[in-house]
Structure 1
Amino acid sequence: MASGAIGTVTRGTTNTNRLRRVDRWIATLPVLRRAADPLVVDLGYGASGVTALELHQRLAKARQDVEVIGLEIEPGRVATARAQLAAVRAGGTGFAADARIGFALGGFEVPLPGGRLAAVIRASNVLRQYDEAEVVPAWRRLVTRLQPGGVLIDGTCDEIGRISAWVDVTADGPQHLSISLRLAELDAPSIVAERLPKILIHRNVPGEPVHRLMLDLDRLWRIHSPLAAYGPTQRWIAVAQGMRDAGWPVRGGRTRWRLGELTVDWAAVEPRGFSW
């Protein structure tokens, strides 16, 4: 572990293309486009640096001068990622040889050179492995490492990235819950319940708002089953519109819904007893 690093070593599961859904969403964030210093931190990238390399590749399409720093508290993982980066620098990989990316030791303290702050911190499948009581303190620490207007993404997904969920957090606290699903062959949207971020995963029980969210999604998915004849995307769009019509504070519109996404205000799913 890095000297002074805050956090514990987690399983480090990493798969190519696993985080494509949340990366696509991060690319739309206003702070990424407006930041004078477009620095993005991939916190706890795992046993391989590939997801950080993919993050840079995807964000560079929205902001050419984006820089990504991958942080891990396990020195062997940093060594592995740096070896991967050396291969990228040598050419012959699918990543740009001059990509603005680096890897370093670090944890929740987010050590950055020169007193820099991040525009975005992505912490995917990290806090899931902590206790629920540790989540808000970690959020509070991490948002102090953000630029004004910066965003922390605490997300979770399945091993191949077909089921994803994340909460975006700012200095003012959590803002939204987003889910993103592969719609082909989707049986029920509530499949995402098993991949909710740690702050919510144990709250999918009667009496909790996120449980009602899961129930309403499944109900509307069943109601709009006749639209399956036109494809799962049309069915999901109808679900998203139905959620909005039912009073859920759904953000975005068809452009995002077509991707299998749905974003609702945090206030609508905030756990009972939650305190920022």
Structure 2
Amino acid sequence: MSTLDAKTRGRTAPGRLRALDAWLCRFERELLTRVDGAWARAVFVDVGFGEHPWTTLESAEAFRALQPELTVIGVELEEARALAAQAHAGPRTHFRQGGFELPLSEDEPVRLVRAMNLLRQGPVERVSEVHRALGRFLLPSGLLVEGSSDPEGSVLTAHLLRRTSADPEAPPAREALLFHTDFRNGFAPLLFRDWLPRDLRRRVRPGEAMHHFFQEWTDAWRQSREAGHTSPADAFRESVTRLGARVGGVSNEPWLLDSGYLVWRPEGGVSP
């Protein structure tokens, strides 16, 4: 265990990250299917799959619908969990013990790393170090997804971090924030606040970019409801449309709005 790692409860549930898989399949299709040069060997790494590798296996199924030869590597800090997951291993599905210093070889370049629900505790100062460690094996333009969801996966937020430098020691760029809800718990913008990535949760305070973002979104949501958009899905769709007129970098792609997703790509990236 490195100094970056910390034990987690490791509890997850089938379907918890299906919405994230769906977004990746739609908007990162090229990343998942690219096979030229080193990309032919490039793998997907799921970090911290927990007591049972449900989410790793679900992602493997979803991504292989696009790229049947994709190699998937599940990584888990607890040795017993990693050993138990071997029952689900296959020719292109592997499970290894390890942490944020990924147990990969130099012959295993990475196209996508996912690390969900691993950084909710511990000092916020270690987040940038974890991002740097997880991004080390990424190919240029490879993606790191790091964030949190509630236990059922009905509310989710995640950093989208892109490797933009040829230097493996350079941290991945903080490209965007992804929000998703399935409306199981209704909808209001502050529903997402407690599920923000670890380094942003305390940034929802006056003077901070995250506070301004949520303030604008909440105002847009209230105006949407006053205009008669009262159902959770309708209020979400209308509020995001209104938010896009107030805040730069908000996507208004119809599939996103209709499916409960918001993607925010502020100019210059998401401030830590």
TM bracket, shorter-chain basis: 0.7 to 0.9
Percent identity reads 27
**Correspondent of 2:69 among 62, 65, 70:** 65
Q: In the alignment, is residue 102 of structure 1 matched against residue 94 of structure 2?
A: yes
The alignment covers a number of residue pairs equal to: 257
Of 179-188 and 216-225, more deviation after overlay is shown by: 179-188
Asked if structure 2 preserves the Cα contact closer than 8 Å seen for 1:210 and 1:269, the reply is no
Q: Against the structure 1 CA distance between its residues 185 and 197, is the aligned structure 2 distance closer, same or farther, given a 3 Å change threshold?
A: closer
* Aligned residue in 2 for 1:46: 50
Question: Structure 1 residue runs of 4+, over 4 Å off?
Answer: 266-269
* Aligned residue in 2 for 1:196: 196
Aligned-partner residue type, residue 221 of structure 1: W
Question: Take 1:5 and 1:61, find their aligned partners in 2: how far apart are those partners?
Answer: 37
Q: CA deviation at 1:266?
A: 4.7
Question: Take 1:253 and 1:142, find their aligned partners in 2: how far apart are those partners?
Answer: 29
* Aligned residue in 1 for 2:168: none
Q: In the alignment, is residue 171 of structure 1 matched against residue 156 of structure 2?
A: no
Question: Take 1:190 and 1:221, find their aligned partners in 2: how far apart are those partners?
Answer: 10
TM-score (norm 1): 0.85
* Aligned residue in 2 for 1:228: 229
Per-residue CA deviation, residues 140-173 of structure 1 (Å, 9 max, x unaligned), is 1211111121100002000100000000112341
* Aligned residue in 2 for 1:18: 16
3-state DSSP class of the match of 1:174? strand
Aligned-partner residue type, residue 234 of structure 1: D
Q: CA deviation at 1:216?
A: 1.8
Instruction: List alignment gaps of at least 5 residues for structure 1.
Output: 87-97
Instruction: List alignment gaps of at least 5 residues for structure 2.
Output: 165-172
Asked if structure 2 preserves the Cα contact closer than 8 Å seen for 1:5 and 1:108, the reply is no
3-state DSSP class of the match of 1:258? helix
* Aligned residue in 2 for 1:215: 215
Q: Against the structure 1 CA distance between its residues 6 and 207, is the aligned structure 2 distance closer, same or farther, given a 3 Å change threshold?
A: closer
Q: CA deviation at 1:33?
A: 2.3
Aligned-partner residue type, residue 229 of structure 2: A
TM-score (norm 2): 0.86
Question: Take 1:191 and 1:116, find their aligned partners in 2: how far apart are those partners?
Answer: 38
Question: Take 1:269 and 1:212, find their aligned partners in 2: how far apart are those partners?
Answer: 15
Asked if structure 1 preserves the Cα contact closer than 8 Å seen for 2:216 and 2:246, the reply is no
Asked if structure 1 preserves the Cα contact closer than 8 Å seen for 2:248 and 2:266, the reply is no
Per-residue CA deviation, residues 209-239 of structure 1 (Å, 9 max, x unaligned), is 111212222221221124436x543332221
Per-residue CA deviation, residues 67-95 of structure 1 (Å, 9 max, x unaligned), is 21000121011022123x16xxxxxxxxx
Asked if structure 1 preserves the Cα contact closer than 8 Å seen for 2:4 and 2:130, the reply is no
**Correspondent of 2:111 among 111, 119, 142:** 119
Aligned-partner residue type, residue 7 of structure 1: D
